[in-house]
């Protein structure tokens, strides 16, 4: 019998709702006490000196590029295997994203290619902890120091992930986390920047609030800023979710382990696994790779017919229509990222999945793979 399994789903508990209701009853809906509490709690969780909440992860990345004074003529090295925001934030300041290929095992930016891409116009490195897998931060940190480059972590998919026992978000000049509904914890929308630099923290607070400074009056704007504020309702939800983040991460880890047990012996199907340096993988999505002999489209169609949605994470950024038109990228420019992109398939994954749902998905994938093998 066919059933429907949801692709993703936020994990909202009664205490989350109650805290949001407190805000709605308080008459303070923006720049209030819940924002302060959420920022302080998040900084403590990550291990950073400062945390600055913003309206989205994309907004946070944009502010990092702005704070680094990156602009026209400057280059930022990043990965083509990511959500498009990690490249768009560079374009917002009229700088140039310089893509380099990825490591096929971790799916993250390959430091060997980063080193070769550095020019006298390079100003920053923006690695992305893809799918909650930490990048090779020892190599990237060393490269940033060697070439005097700003290191900005895109940790939007990686809250709680650890590289050699150290949480991501503490390696770069700044890092950004995102809270879209499919993330490990959610605020509906929203993001947060972490940094140990007090001057950057003050700049972020000003930039998110139309260029105002904390000491200035409401109608005094000392720099060009943006409306990237996070509202109090979202901050309250974030605070409540953060209180049980390790519980949420552990539940996702158990679900990933159950998927692995059910699928590890399926020919042509490989699950993402922690890198040797990953002491904690923060499971954002459950991605499998299909052998090239398996028709991914046929697998997708078969699963869809049985109520199982899938996603093809990620289509390479350099092959997105806008980037091909603006920069002339071609198929084959980044062969590892392209090969990975052709083979990946995200399965239903969230903390509310039942064992029966997971077994249903796994059984469906096994049948789909058998039918789709060339």
* 218 and 167 fall within a common domain: yes
Distance, CA of 88 to CA of 86 (rounded, Å): 6
* 239 and 250 fall within a common domain: no
Structural domain containing residue 332: 246-372
pLDDT score of 306: 97
* 314 and 345 fall within a common domain: yes
Indicate the average pLDDT of the chain.
97
pLDDT score of 373: 86
pLDDT score of 3: 85
Q: Position of tokens 């308080």?
A: 26
Judge residue 320's burial from the number of C-beta atoms within 10 Å of its C-beta, 0-12 exposed, 13-18 middle, 19 or more buried: middle
- Looking up residue 294, the CATH number of its domain turns out to be 3.90.1150.10
* 290 and 158 fall within a common domain: no
Work out how many domains the chain is built from and give that number. 2
Rounded mean pLDDT, 86-112: 98
Indicate whether 374 pLDDT > 80. Answer: no
Of 42, 296, 342, 369, the C-alpha closest to 177 is: 42
Rounded mean pLDDT, 77-96: 98
- CA atoms within 13 A of residue 16's CA, in its CB half-sphere: 16
Mean pLDDT check: name the lowest of 46-55, 211-220, 290-299, 321-330. 211-220
pLDDT score of 1: 57
* 171 and 301 fall within a common domain: no
Q: What is the largest CA-CA distance in the chain?
A: 67
* 140 and 181 fall within a common domain: yes
Indicate whether 147 pLDDT > 90. Answer: yes
* 174 and 197 fall within a common domain: yes
Distance, CA of 191 to CA of 54 (rounded, Å): 5
Rounded mean pLDDT, 275-282: 97
Indicate whether 71 pLDDT > 60. Answer: yes
Decide if 19 contacts 236 (C-beta within 8 A).
yes
A 10 A CB-CB count for 30 gives 13
Rounded mean pLDDT, 152-170: 98
**Domain-terminating residue out of 243, 275, 305:** 243
* 315 and 220 fall within a common domain: no
End-to-end alpha carbon distance in the chain: 27
Rounded mean pLDDT, 112-136: 98
Q: Position of tokens 């459950």?
A: 286
Residue 6 domain-assigned (yes or no): no
* 222 and 125 fall within a common domain: yes
For 84-149, the three-class secondary structure string (H helix, E strand, C coil) is CHHHHHHHCCCCEEEECCECCCCCCECHHHHHHHCCCCEEEEECECHHHCCCCHHHHHHHHHHCCC
Rounded mean pLDDT, 312-319: 96
pLDDT score of 218: 79
Collect all residues with Cβ–Cβ distance below 8 Å to 257 and sequence separation of at least 6. Answer: none
Residue 3 domain-assigned (yes or no): no
User: How do beta strands 286-290 and 269-271 pair?
Assistant: antiparallel
Indicate whether 208 pLDDT > 80. Answer: yes
Collect all residues with Cβ–Cβ distance below 8 Å to 241 and sequence separation of at least 6. Answer: 11, 16, 179, 185, 186, 187, 248
pLDDT per residue as tens digits for the range 361-373: 999 999 999 999 8
* 294 and 215 fall within a common domain: no
Q: Is the pTM of this model over 0.85?
A: yes
Beta bridge pairs of residue 124: 76, 150
* Cα dist from 32 to 29, 38, 160, 229, 238, whole Å: 7, 10, 26, 11, 14
Which pLDDT band holds residue 124 (cuts at 50, 70, 90)? very high
Distance, CA of 107 to CA of 146 (rounded, Å): 24
pLDDT score of 359: 98
Distance, CA of 326 to CA of 146 (rounded, Å): 31
**Domain-terminating residue out of 182, 212, 243:** 243
pLDDT score of 214: 78
Which pLDDT band holds residue 335 (cuts at 50, 70, 90)? very high
pLDDT score of 219: 86
């Amino acid at each position: 019998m066919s059933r429907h399994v949801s692709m993703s789903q936020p994990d909202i508990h009664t205490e989350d709702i109650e805290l949001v209701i407190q805000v709605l009853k308080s008459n303070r809906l923006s720049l209030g006490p819940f924002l302060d509490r959420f920022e302080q709690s998040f900084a403590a969780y990550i291990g950073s000196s400062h945390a600055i909440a913003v309206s989205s992860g994309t907004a946070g990345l944009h502010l990092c590029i702005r704070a680094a004074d990156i602009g026209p003529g400057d280059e930022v090295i990043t990965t083509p295997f990511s959500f498009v925001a990690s490249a768009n934030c560079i374009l917002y300041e009229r700088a140039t994203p310089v893509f380099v290929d990825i490591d096929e095992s971790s799916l993250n930016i390959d430091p060997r290619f980063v080193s070769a891409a550095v020019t006298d116009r390079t100003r920053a490195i923006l690695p992305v902890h893809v799918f909650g897998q930490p990048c090779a931060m020892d190599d990237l940190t060393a490269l940033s120091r060697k070439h005097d480059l700003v290191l900005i972590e895109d940790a939007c998919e990686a809250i709680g992930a650890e590289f050699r026992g150290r949480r991501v978000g503490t390696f770069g000049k700044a890092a950004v986390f995102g809270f879209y509904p499919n993330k490990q914890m959610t605020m509906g929308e929203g993001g947060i920047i972490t940094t140990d630099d007090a001057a950057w923290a003050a700049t972020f607070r000003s930039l998110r609030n139309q260029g105002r400074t904390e000491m200035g009056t409401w109608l005094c704007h000392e720099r060009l800023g943006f409306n990237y504020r996070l509202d109090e309702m979202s901050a309250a939800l974030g605070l409540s979710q953060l209180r049980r983040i390790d519980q949420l991460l552990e539940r996702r880890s158990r679900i990933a382990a159950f998927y692995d047990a059910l699928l590890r012996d399926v020919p042509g199907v490989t699950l993402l696994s922690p890198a040797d340096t990953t002491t904690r993988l923060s499971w954002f999505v459950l991605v499998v790779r299909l052998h090239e002999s398996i028709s991914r489209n046929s697998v997708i169609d078969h699963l869809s017919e049985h109520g199982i949605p899938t996603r093809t994470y990620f289509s390479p950024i350099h092959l997105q229509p806008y980037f091909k038109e603006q920069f002339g990228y071609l198929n084959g420019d980044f062969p590892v990222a392209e090969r990975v992109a052709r083979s990946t398939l995200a399965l239903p994954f969230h903390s509310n999945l039942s064992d029966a749902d997971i077994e249903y998905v796994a059984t469906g994938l096994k049948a789909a793979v058998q039918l789709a093998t060339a």
